[in-house]
Amino acid sequence: MFGVPLQDYASRGKVDHLIRFRERLDEHSRFLESQLAGLEALVRERGELDVVVPPADPDASGVAKEDV
């Protein structure tokens, strides 16, 4: 099922592009998580936050683990 598209992508260098794109998305996600943690710490430090935000549930993302 996935063999032909993957062969086509590989022959045109698209697989490397997809891998690099995914790595950039992962990096950006980690950056945003650190920014959020910093903002939460600032707000908590000032006593303006009394809510704990739980981490996102990766299973609720709509992406099957097999797809990742």
What's the DSSP call for residue 43?
Answer: H
3 in any annotated domain: no
The model's pTM:
0.52
Domain presence at residue 61: no
Residue pair 40/49 in contact by the 8 Å Cβ criterion: yes
For residues 9 and 15, the answer to whether their CB atoms sit within 8 Å is yes
Domain count, the chain: 1
Residue 3 has pLDDT above 90, yes or no: no
Q: Does residue 8 form part of some domain?
A: no
pLDDT tens string 14-66: 778 888 889 999 999 999 999 999 998 888 888 876 667 778 776 766 555 55
Is residue 17 in a domain?
yes
Tell me which residue range forms the domain holding 39: 13-48
14-45 helix and 3-11 helix, angle to the nearest 10 degrees: 90
Upper half-sphere CA count for residue 60 (Cβ side, 13 Å): 3
Task: Give the model's pLDDT for residue 31.
Answer: 96
| Measured distance CA(65)–CA(19) in Å, rounded | 16
